[in-house]
Amino acid sequence: MAQAGFHGLAGAYMAKYWVKTPDAPAGQERSRGLKFGLVLGALIPDVDFFLLGPLFLVNSSLALKMHRTFTHSFFTTVLVVTVIWLVARSRASDYLKGFALGLGGGILSHMLLDILVWFGGIQAFWPLGQFGVADIHLWRWLKAPHVVTNLLGAADYLAFGLYYLFLAAAAKRTGTSLGFLGRLKLFTRLQWAFLVVYGALAFFLSGFVFDIAHYAAFILVFFPICLYVTVKMRETIHAL
């Protein structure tokens, strides 16, 4: 997992700079759906933490091995996009058509960032790993010290904070989601506080103890908040 907030930022920048809003109403709806799909899709692969978090407490090695499998797979992505596309066609929804394509693009961006900037691999062809198909792991040769991996965990809070600052600036610029900005400011300050706390703990705790403390907060509090913020700020994302 490249930090979730950085995934959100990547999706937001793609939505802002890659998606053009056409003049036709149908095209506008499709572009709105595409933008929101890119941002949400860039975040959504890490929902596997909700299932694997309890397992981590029982068998941490198995939980980490299962992370970046079914939610980081080309096959799962194609299945999800196809289902949403078929629903969009049945409802003649231009928004859902754009959302389906954006979700697929966002998930693929998440997978690419995980491959390039994280020390673990992803099972991009899950479930074919059961039949000998290797995961994609560019950093297999590198064993990072636990202090480094701890600091990368602490950087989750930096990433969330930067993502929220981006959304707040976009909301002010476009005049959207303004009623949510007070709560977003509170969430942003919370990230800075936890960045300081976990940044300090990174130097004193073992990798195992730090992971338990960090992922408990990540899974139970901060990643759900990030998904909540993304949904509440969707009008701002539409206007990027």
Output the 3-class SS for 43-78.
Answer: HHHHHHHHHHHHHHHHCHHHHHHHCCCHHHCHHHHH
pLDDT band at 2 (very low <50, low <70, confident <90, very high): low
Contact by Cβ (8 Å): 35, 237: yes
User: Is the per-residue pLDDT at 72 higher than 90?
Assistant: yes
Class of residue 143 by CB neighbours under 10 A (exposed 0-12, middle 13-18, buried 19+) = exposed
- Above pLDDT 70, what percent of the chain? 95
pTM for the model stands at 0.94
Cα–Cα dist 39/232, whole Å: 13
Cα–Cα dist 162/105, whole Å: 22
Q: How many domains does the chain have?
A: 1
The per-residue pLDDT for range 105-120, each reduced to its tens digit, is: 999 999 999 998 877 7
Contact by Cβ (8 Å): 99, 108: no
Look up residue 126 and give its DSSP letter.
T
User: Is the per-residue pLDDT at 1 higher than 60?
Assistant: no
pLDDT band at 60 (very low <50, low <70, confident <90, very high): low
Residue 126: count other Cβ atoms within 10 Å of its Cβ.
20
Ramachandran bin of 24, using left for φ above 0, alpha for ψ from -120 to 50, beta for the remaining angles: beta
Q: Encoding tokens for residue 153?
A: 């965990």
Kindly state the greatest CA–CA separation across the chain: 57
> Which residues span the domain enclosing 42?
4-238
Contacts of 183 (CB under 8 A, 6+ apart): none
Residue 35: predicted pLDDT = 98
Mean pLDDT is lowest, of 61-70, 96-105, 182-191, for 61-70
Exposed e or buried b per residue across 8-34, where buried means at least 16 C-beta atoms within 10 angstroms of its C-beta: bbbbbbbbbeebeeeeeeeebbbbbbb
